[in-house]
Amino acid sequence: MVILGIETSCDETAAAVVRDGKEILSNVVYSQDIHAEYGGVVPELASRDHIKNIIPVVKKSLHDANVSLSDLDAVAVTQSPGLIGSLLVGLSFAKSLSFSLDIPLVTVNHLEGHIYANFLTYPGLEPPLIGLIVSGGHTDLLIIEERGKYRLLGSTLDDACGEAFDKVGNLLGLSYPGGPEIEKMAESGDPRAISFPIGRVKGYDFSFSGLKTAVLYYLRKLAEEEKGMQKANIAASFQKTAITMLVKKSVKAMSETKIMRIAISGGVAANEQLRETFSREAKKKGFNVYFPDKMLCTDNAAMIGSCGYDHYKRGDIAPLSIKAEPTTLIY
């Protein structure tokens, strides 16, 4: 079964062709560069750019997969959560394909899509698992009870983890998105140079805004000439603190649920330090940790096509009247 996946929930216009939910025949991601000068995504510009890019991106995904429109058995698309204008472009396009080709429309939740990046990377991986979604919009710790059945343990009370990377990147004068830039800058810094507060949030919830503000105050105290010298240390120390927060709550979730396996996904899961820290901790504490291939961590449509396949198998077909939803979650 050949599914075309479409993803336009934020600032990536993406299309992918996936066979039987697990074989990626093509995976095209166009990252909009128009937002860099604003230091963040401008929703109206994002939706206009999706309109411009959706046809070339879908065409390229078909071309790369060596299939034509008539080979498609279904179209899967992100319907929630995300920027409403951005979601509408992908959803409307998917509806028109479904109608004109007379193939089923399957709608996918973006967060469930992120979880499927791990199922794509490890085809034998099956729940139960602890899930940690760390992206620009979400930081969610959950139990993946089975495919399609999720229970939220905790999430961020303020900034998402990726959002904190982006905001701290901004404070350090780095370009948007700040996550990969901070990772690069941190390579030449000392993660133990500055001790930023870990934040004491109860249960499984997270908070990143205090850490971000601590970086702001630290920078304010520095003399102008010290700032340049300290940037790498700030990046490394911030990164280490953010990762420590994620590890702490994840380990707590695993020891309390006795599910000693964790699947991490979302843009921040591409961070090498995060991957190394979790892997080290896994060896020490005896759990298994799974990360998607790096290209499947950040937004892409292969994860949407893969997740869409399971929805299709369950008979979960969407009517053409379905609406885009900016905030619906899966738990």
Measured from the CB atom, the residue of 154 and 178 that comes closer to ligand KG4 is 178
| Of 49, 166, 299, 310, the one binding Zn ion by CB under 5 A | 299
Beta strand residue intervals within 168-287, DSSP E: 261-265
Q: Which of 28, 91, 270, 296 binds ligand KG4 (CB under 6 A)?
A: 270
Please answer whether residues 295 and 27 qualify as being in contact, where contact means their C-beta atoms are separated by less than 8 angstroms: yes
135 near Zn ion, rule: CB under 5 A: yes
CA distance 262 to 258: 11
Q: Is 109 in the site for Zn ion (CB under 5 A)?
A: no
* Residue 263: CB atoms within 10 Å: 27
Amino acid at the residue 133: I
Binding to ligand KG4 (CB under 6 A) within 72-131 occurs at none
Q: Give which of 111, 94, 188, 211 is closest to 152, Cα–Cα.
A: 111
If 0-12 CB within 10 Å is exposed, 13-18 middle and 19+ buried, where does residue 180 land?
middle
Looking at the Cβ atoms of 110 and 240, the one nearer to Zn ion is 110
Question: Whole-number minimum distance, CB 142 to Zn ion, in Å?
Answer: 15
Closest contact distance (angstroms) between CB of 276 and Zn ion is 22
- Listed ranges 53-61, 135-143, 144-152, 216-224: which one lies at the site for ligand KG4 (CB under 6 A): 135-143
Residue 267 identity (one-letter amino acid):
G
Q: Contact between 177 and ligand KG4 (CB under 6 A)?
A: yes
For residues 167 and 329, give the distance between their C-alpha atoms in angstroms, rounded to a whole number: 24
Please identify, among the stretches 163-171, 198-206, 218-226, 230-238, the one whose residues bind ligand KG4 according to the rule CB under 6 A. Answer: 163-171
Interface contacts to Zn ion, rule CB under 5 A: 135, 299
